[in-house]
């Protein structure tokens, strides 16, 4: 058992193997434990707390492949002091990690069904492990589709994965950006519009949605318009997580703690809270 | 004419429209194609037609003087291009450019407006189909204005 799992409040030291730039404000860190041994296993949708000693910590979704042991991978957007410091860490640098935490995507429960993944912006990061898992067990699922929206073509993440996935005959991948210059030959428009173009069996479909809250609200509207049941729609919620184990209350969301009860929720668990100005 | 009617009834925009109205619309319809790079219309043009897209891809673009042109939406098979034909002063709000070979049914807006004036039920049916397109466009614009993928401030 890792120290982090034995004592969930104690960060374990991890060494950075690679710091790769994805877009102008998004980067991916590959890390491995400083002490010999494998990183703890994680499930798609879970997150870790990443520490820069002396600066602070931030909750970051795990974006790597859960079907492979190493390295542990996090895709991070520069948004504050901690993520700015994380961006500066060079290979060989050491940071602290606690985790993994949180309720994962129901990929096992979705076996036998069609699966739609709807991602907006950095929301593709926590969905990528789900996609890896689905593809590693492709014969256990019906149709699989990914709908991914970003701000501009320059903000698209994981281009090599997207290219590879688009080349598959057993996967529908649709990408759209909010605005683009003339040299972009792909789709332009909100990601929710792509959902209407999907081919799936609404009575037997699970939808996994991750992105900004308003984008998830509009996505749910579109999924429900396409007759997907509320109980089959799952959202990954985001709030300011600190302790990650439900002690501190920073991430309270109505009756839920997002770190412990989420971040993945069934839509009907959070339906009444979505869209409220103050929760 | 029969072919046009068949194409129109199969398009999602006219799903479940009574046959008598489809036949009325056929009288205002024609088959068109646009090569890649063709401007179907330009901002400020009279909105004489709207298009039921059968294949291809069209970009709606806006520009501001010397700044680079921005694509605000792309449309393809199953979509409808243009609603300004129904709303005075019947002028285009953006440029529409075919990004690839595009096939469509063009519907003469003036011809349809005359038919709607004569038969308000047809007008109602068309309004019920056009208003959701405008609503969708409005919601999409809201999301784009909010820059939802940007960093929270």
Q: Note whether B149 contacts A150, CB cutoff 8 Å.
A: yes
Q: Percent of chain A, pLDDT > 90?
A: 63
Q: Answer yes or no: is B112 within a domain.
A: yes
Furthest C-alpha separation in chain B:
57
Q: Residue B118: CB partners within 8 Å, gap ≥ 6?
A: none
Q: Answer yes or no: is B34 within a domain.
A: yes
Q: A119 with A221, same domain? A: yes
Q: Answer yes or no: is A231 within a domain.
A: yes
Range of the domain at B31: 2-146
The answer to whether residue B18 scores a pLDDT higher than 90 is yes
Q: Answer yes or no: is A275 within a domain.
A: no
Q: A89 with A192, same domain? A: no
Range of the domain at A18: 3-101
Residue B38 maps to which CATH number?
A: 2.60.120.10
CA distance A139 to chain B (A): 30
Q: Answer yes or no: is A39 within a domain.
A: yes
Q: What's the whole-number mean pLDDT along residues B128-143?
A: 87
The answer to whether residue B98 scores a pLDDT higher than 70 is yes
Q: Is B151 helix (H, G, I), strand (E, B) or coil?
A: coil
* A187 vs B: CB within 8 A: yes
Question: Contact at 8 Å (CB) between A32 and A17?
Answer: yes
Q: Note whether B71 contacts A184, CB cutoff 8 Å.
A: yes
Mean pLDDT score across all residues of chain A: 90
Q: A121 with A92, same domain? A: no
Q: Is A132 helix (H, G, I), strand (E, B) or coil?
A: helix
* B152 vs A: CB within 8 A: yes
Residue A223 maps to which CATH number?
A: 3.40.50.80
Q: Residue A192: CB partners within 8 Å, gap ≥ 6?
A: A149, A215, A218, A219, A221, A222
When divided into structural domains, chain A yields a total of 2
Pick the closest to residue A129 from A207, A44, A28 (CA basis): A44
The answer to whether residue A181 scores a pLDDT higher than 90 is no
What phi and psi values does residue A83 have, to the nearest 5 degrees? Answer: -70, -30
Q: A139 with A188, same domain? A: yes
pLDDT attached to residue A1: 47
Question: Contact at 8 Å (CB) between A265 and A235?
Answer: yes
CA distance B82 to chain A (A): 15
Q: Note whether A182 contacts B149, CB cutoff 8 Å.
A: no
Which tokens is A231 given? 């109980």
Q: Percent of chain B, pLDDT > 70?
A: 97
Q: Answer yes or no: is B43 within a domain.
A: yes
pLDDT attached to residue B42: 94
Q: A23 with A59, same domain? A: yes
Task: Choose one of A79, A101, A123: the last residue of a domain.
Answer: A101
Furthest C-alpha separation in chain A:
54
* B63 vs A: CB within 8 A: no
Q: Note whether A214 contacts B143, CB cutoff 8 Å.
A: yes
Q: Answer yes or no: is B26 within a domain.
A: yes
What phi and psi values does residue B119 have, to the nearest 5 degrees? Answer: -135, 95
Which tens digits make up the pLDDT trace of B101-125?
999 999 999 999 999 999 999 999 9
Q: Answer yes or no: is B31 within a domain.
A: yes
Query: Predicted confidence band at A257 (pLDDT cuts at 50, 70, 90)?
Result: confident
Q: Note whether A214 contacts B139, CB cutoff 8 Å.
A: no
Q: Answer yes or no: is B152 within a domain.
A: no
Compute the distance between CA of residue A130 and CA of residue A117 in angstroms, rounded to an integer: 9
CA distance A157 to chain B (A): 12
Compute the distance between CA of residue A73 and CA of residue A19 in angstroms, rounded to an integer: 10
Q: What's the whole-number mean pLDDT along residues B52-59?
A: 95
Cα distances (Å, whole numbers) of residue A22 to A74, A85, A164, A253, B127: 12, 17, 17, 31, 45
Beta bridge partners of residue A187, listed in sequence order: A176
Q: A7 with A92, same domain? A: yes
Q: Answer yes or no: is B151 within a domain.
A: no
Interhelix angle B19-26/B109-118, rounded to 10 degrees, is 140
Q: Answer yes or no: is A277 within a domain.
A: no
| B2, burial (CB in 10 Å: exposed 0-12, middle 13-18, buried 19+) | exposed
Residue A34 maps to which CATH number?
A: 2.40.30.10
Q: Note whether B148 contacts A120, CB cutoff 8 Å.
A: yes
Query: Predicted confidence band at B2 (pLDDT cuts at 50, 70, 90)?
Result: low
Q: Note whether B71 contacts A120, CB cutoff 8 Å.
A: no
The answer to whether residue A105 scores a pLDDT higher than 90 is yes
More confident residue, A221 or A40: A221
Q: A128 with A221, same domain? A: yes
What phi and psi values does residue B123 have, to the nearest 5 degrees? Answer: -60, -45
Across the interface, of A120, A188, A215, the residue whose CB is closest to B71 is A188
What dihedral angle (degrees, nearest 10) is formed by the CA atoms of A244, A247, A248, A253?
70
- Neighbour count for residue A193 (Cβ, 10 Å): 23
Pick the closest to residue A161 from A39, A65, A25, A268 (CA basis): A65
When divided into structural domains, chain B yields a total of 1
Q: From the centroid of its chain, how far is CA A88? A: 22
* B99 vs A: CB within 8 A: yes
Compute the distance between CA of residue A216 and CA of residue A220 in angstroms, rounded to an integer: 6
Enter the DSSP assignment of B103: E
Region of residue B82 (left: phi > 0; alpha: psi -120 to 50; beta: else): left
Q: Answer yes or no: is A156 within a domain.
A: yes
Q: Answer yes or no: is A257 within a domain.
A: no
Compute the distance between CA of residue A7 and CA of residue A223 in angstroms, rounded to an integer: 40
Q: Answer yes or no: is A276 within a domain.
A: no
Query: B interface mutation test: which of A125, A152, A182, A226 has the most B CBs within 10 A?
Result: A182
């Amino acid at each position: 058992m890792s120290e982090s799992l034995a004592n969930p409040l104690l960060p374990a030291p991890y060494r950075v193997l690679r710091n790769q730039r994805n877009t102008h404000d998004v980067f991916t860190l590959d890390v491995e434990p400083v002490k010999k041994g494998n990183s703890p296993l994680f499930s798609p949708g879970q997150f870790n707390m990443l520490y820069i000693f002396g600066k602070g910590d931030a909750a970051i979704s795990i974006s790597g492949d859960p079907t492979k042991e190493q390295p542990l991978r996090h895709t991070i957007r520069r948004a504050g002091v901690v993520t700015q410091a994380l961006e500066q860490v060079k290979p060989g640098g050491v940071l602290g990690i606690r985790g993994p935490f949180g309720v994962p995507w129901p990929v096992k429960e979705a076996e036998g069904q069609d699966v739609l993944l709807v991602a907006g912006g950095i929301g593709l990061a926590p969905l990528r492990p789900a996609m890896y898992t689905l593809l590693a067990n492709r014969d256990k699922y019906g149709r699989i589709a990914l709908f991914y929206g970003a701000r501009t073509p320059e903000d698209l993440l994981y281009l090599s994965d997207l290219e590879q996935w688009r080349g598959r005959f057993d996967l529908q991948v649709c990408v759209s950006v909010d605005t683009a210059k003339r040299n972009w030959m792909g789709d332009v428009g909100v990601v929710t519009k792509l959902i209407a173009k999907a081919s799936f069996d609404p009575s037997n479909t699970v939808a996994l949605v991750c992105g900004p809250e308003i984008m998830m609200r509009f996505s749910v509207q579109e999924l429900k318009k396409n007759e997907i049941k509320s109980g089959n729609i799952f959202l990954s919620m985001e709030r300011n997580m600190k302790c990650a184990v439900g002690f501190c209350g920073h991430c309270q969301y109505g009756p839920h703690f997002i770190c412990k009860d989420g971040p993945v929720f069934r839509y009907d668990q959070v339906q009444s809270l979505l869209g409220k100005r103050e929760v | 004419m029969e072919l046009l009617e068949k194409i129109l009834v199969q398009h999602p925009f006219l799903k479940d429209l009574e046959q008598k109205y489809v036949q009325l619309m056929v009288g205002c319809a024609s088959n068109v194609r646009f090569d890649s790079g063709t401007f179907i219309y330009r901002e400020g043009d009279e909105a004489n037609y709207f298009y039921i897209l059968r294949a291809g891809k069209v970009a709606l673009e806006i520009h501001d003087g010397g700044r680079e042109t921005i694509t605000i939406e792309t449309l393809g098979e199953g979509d409808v291009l243009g609603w300004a034909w129904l709303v005075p002063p019947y002028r285009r709000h953006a440029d529409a450019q075919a990004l690839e070979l595009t096939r469509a049914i063009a519907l003469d807006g003036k011809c349809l407006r005359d038919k709607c004036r004569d038969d308000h039920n047809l007008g109602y049916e068309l309004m019920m189909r056009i208003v959701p397109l405008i609503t969708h466009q409005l919601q999409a614009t809201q999301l784009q204005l909010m820059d939802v993928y940007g960093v929270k401030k």
